[in-house]
Amino acid sequence: MLFYITIVDFGALFAQGVHRKIQGQIKSMERELGKAYYTGWSYPKALLMDGREVLEAEPAVTIKDFVGVLVEWIQKYEVTQTYIRYSSASKWFIDLLKYQNMHGIKSVLEITTYPYDIEVAEGIVKLENLIFVKEINRYIHRIATYSSHQEIWEQPCFNLMNGINMNDHPISIKRAEDIKIVFIAVSTLQYWHGYERFLEGMYLYYKGGGEYDLKLKLIGDGPEKKYYEDLVEKYHIQLQVEFLGRIEISEKERLDQQYDLSDMAVGSLGFYKAMGAEEGSPIKGSEYCARGLPFICGYRDLRFPPDWEFMLNVPNNSEPIDMNRVIDFYEKVTLKENYKELMRKYAAEHLTWDKIMEPVVEYLNLDF
């Protein structure tokens, strides 16, 4: 039995994307390793889950309580392997790793962001983390990371990327129109998405006499929404930008419809704001690729070759996007009649969770 251990509240705003990711990873591991359950901490309870079904729920007010419940479940379900989504170190987290080590439980620790300190809380929690993080490599011997690091805390790394289930992302049916491009951006509208660069670029394009009909569909909700709305009004581009709000997972057909009305996608343009981050693999890049939508991004995407013909990299800074360059890129891409099919083929061969989790599964399957 394998446990996927995480301390995420699935009712929180970000949980939709996290839950989808966890399910993708679990399904890929189950194909080779057998049945897997996952844990969550929906305060004040610890949850043991199978898909969306709650198998067990126990009181857990503190991280100490949560770890205690985890150990009980590990014993009850005779767990032999764990995959841990790391948040921060503490005495109780180290106790969990010690227990695993003592009982011969093979484990992989996933670090979603590295260097990870930028996401760790301030004050006593950060101090505790800095003290106990030094002990992790005594009990964990493989780390999964979404960076290009080959080693973290003196332990070898699996370099992962955000994967997808192809069936969840059908290919877009829209074909190019003359002098018109419809852009789509699906996100939680955080500061690192940097869409202000795109909005300013549209403003400057029309100020300079641009003739293309450019439309932007912003799907999602979040702290930057009001800022973007104010910019749209300031730049007088209300006819070019549409705010469609958040679309729930249960409204998949509605989201598919918006993709079918779009020509090109916009990825994150504000990585430079996140402690100068320069590389990554945000999930949307994989989804855009599977749907056959060329896209623009402001970071080095680890999933694609440098200068990949269907992805436009722009500088990782605060400068407005050069829309003439974007238009030239799009026109070049659409000269290939089968560009959508080529993008989807790449996604199927490189971006599924089955492909991405292969090295992790092989490691957990090894007998020592």
pLDDT for 82 equals 97
Query: 297 and 314 in contact (C-beta within 8 Å)?
Result: yes
Question: How big is the CA angle at 72 (ends 66 and 77), to the nearest 5 degrees?
Answer: 120
pLDDT for 120 equals 46
User: Model-level pTM?
Assistant: 0.79
pLDDT for 7 equals 78
d(CA 68, CA 46): 10
Taking alpha carbons only, the member of 157, 228, 198, 225 closest to residue 295 is 198
pLDDT digits (tens), the chain, 368 positions: 999 998 766 665 345 567 778 889 999 999 999 999 999 888 899 999 998 899 999 999 998 999 999 999 999 999 999 999 987 788 999 999 999 999 999 999 999 877 754 444 555 456 666 778 889 999 999 999 988 889 999 999 999 988 899 999 999 999 999 999 999 999 999 999 999 999 999 999 999 999 999 999 999 999 999 999 999 999 999 999 999 999 987 788 999 999 999 999 999 999 999 867 888 888 899 999 999 999 999 999 989 998 899 999 999 999 999 999 999 999 999 999 999 999 999 999 999 999 999 999 999 998 75
Q: How far apart are the first and last CA of the chain?
A: 17
Query: 275 and 116 in contact (C-beta within 8 Å)?
Result: no
d(CA 290, CA 227): 30
Domains and CATH numbers, the chain: 2-161+352-365 (3.40.50.2300), 166-350 (3.40.50.2000)
d(CA 26, CA 364): 13
d(CA 124, CA 44): 21
